[in-house]
Structures are given as structure tokens and as C-alpha cells.
Amino acid sequence: MKTTVTNPFITALAMFTTLPAPDVGIVDRSRSTRTIVWLPWVGMLLGALGAFACGLVMILGGGPLLGAICGLAVLTVSTGFLHLDGLADTADGLGSRKPAEEALRIMKQSDIGPMGVCAIVLVLAIDTSALSSFANTNANGELWAHDFWQQFALLVTAPMVARMAVLIATRVGAETARPGGFGALFAAVTKPVTIVISLIAMVLVVATASGFASGFSAYEIVHWVIAALIAVAIGTLWQKHLVKRFGGSTGDTFGSLIEITQMCYLLACVLG
């Protein structure tokens, strides 16, 4: 008889990534409450995989730009392009300027429009440029170790910060645009106390990663923590706009929320 795994972290891995995972069966509303809590930690795991790929490429002489591209590629492939697809569909829906019902129908179509393509290209270009901004070299043309580890730490923390915005978007009372859709499974399931605890954990992870990468520079630690909080705040405003535009959340809007928040975090970390 086939055994079904109900561990919430394994369930989150199976539902939100393409990583090998055992059968988790059918996830209902009661299980989704426990599963969504682990989404930021799944993000950190994916970030660690991306950072490993980035670091390996740079150690082998590939350079910061190629390392950033490979790190982002691992992140994208490990989610099955799910979030970029959501970003593209959301851009098509917003760009259509149609009423909510028609816009949602456009988003549900399998094809991708020019606005969706532009959204993907722009977000990936900004992410790559931001990640590779830590490319200062010494007199011998070698990348400073400080900059290497900062790029590494950014890749570890960015997916976690991005998914923190989704955790807030699934708070109790949140609206869903499609009652029978994938997004509805996780809408309005997260309690405020869970969000507060997760935010504190995110701050601690970002502060620790920034500390190790910068030699525990107080300025860099504060800088990165503020960047994470700003990114989550912008993501929350983005989510609020999408709910107002479409009448609620969908799986696609959650995907766009992850990509937009991650982009804002990377930008906020490298600027200034």
C-alpha cells in the first residue's frame, strides 16, 4: 500500500517546487494552513541551491554575471517556472485593461502575451544586474571575497524574503478571485501571530546572512534588514493593488508577488 506523507514542510516542497518529494496526497484547507507556514523556509532552501550554483561558477572563474545567471536559473528551474508564469499572466491581465472577470479569463489562458514577455525580461534583467553588482576586484583583477559572499548571501535570502510576502497575502480575511482555483486553497489561512513570528525569523536570517557576508558590519546588517522589510512592504502594496483590480488573489498573482518582492529586495540591498 502506498504511504502518503503529511509532513507540512515536505508537502510544501512537493507543491511549490520540482525537487524530488514523496507522495503527499490531496491537500485540503486544514493541511494548507500548516503547509503555507513553511513557504519562506522552502524559499531559503531553494536560495541555498541557487547560491551554491552561483558560487561554484564563480570559483571556477565564470565571473559574477554568469554566476548570477546560473543562480537565478537554478531558482527558476527548481520551481518549474511557476512564479515567472504567474508574473507573465498577471502582467497580461493588468495590461488588458479589461474588467476583472475578463482579465481573469485572459490570465487563465495558456498562451503568453507581449506584456507578459516584457515583464519576465525586465524582472530577470533587474535581478541579474542587481546580483552581479557586487563585482569589485582588487589590483590583481580578483573578486573581493567580501563581494563574493555578499552575492552568495543575497541568493540565499532573496527567495525567503519574497515568499514572506505571500505568507502575509494569505492572512485571515484575505479575498480570493477564483473560489475553486489553486490560490483559493491558501487564501485566508494564515493567522496574525504566525505572520509576526515568521517576520521575526526572516529578520534574524537576513541579519545573520548579511553579518557573515560583510564581516559583521553593523551598517550592512541594518541595511539588509531594512531592505527586506521595504521589499515585503512593497510586495504587500502590490498585492493590495492586485486584489483591488481582480477582486481577490489567484495562483498567478501569488507568483507575481514573489517575483516583484524578490526584485525589490535585491534592488534595495545593492543600492546605497
Please count the other Cβ atoms lying within 10 Å of the Cβ belonging to residue 198: 21
In a domain, 17, yes or no: no
**Domain assignment present for 1:** no
Give me the long-range contacts of 55-64 (CB less than 8 A, separation at least 24): 55/148, 55/152, 58/143, 58/148, 58/151, 63/135, 63/143, 64/131, 64/132, 64/134, 64/135, 64/143, 64/147, 64/151
Contact (CB, 8 A) for 64 and 135: yes
What lies within 8 Å, CB to CB, of 111 at 6+ separation is none
In a domain, 9, yes or no: no
Does 158 score more than 70 pLDDT? yes
Mean pLDDT over residues 197-216, rounded?
95
Q: Are 166 and 39 in contact (CB under 8 A)?
A: yes
Cell (9 digits) for 51: 547560491
In degrees and rounded to multiples of 5, residue 49 shows phi and psi of -65, -45
State pTM to two decimals. 0.92
pLDDT tens digits along 66-119: 999 999 999 999 999 999 999 999 999 999 999 999 999 999 988 889 999 999
- Count: domains in the chain: 1
Rounded Cα distance, 47 and 153, in Å: 9
Within a domain: 14:
no
Three cell numbers written together for 140 = 590583481
**Which tens digits make up the pLDDT trace of 6-54?**
889 999 999 999 999 888 888 877 788 889 999 999 999 999 999 999 9
Show the domain range for 81.
Answer: 28-270
Do the domain assignments include residue 248? Answer: yes
| 41 lies in some domain | yes
Cα torsion 190, 120, 94, 81: sign: negative
Q: Is residue 182 pLDDT above 80, yes or no?
A: no
| Any domain includes 234 | yes
Residue 52 lies in a domain: yes
User: pLDDT (tens digit, 9 = 90+) per residue, 210-244?
Assistant: 999 888 899 999 999 999 999 999 999 999 999 99
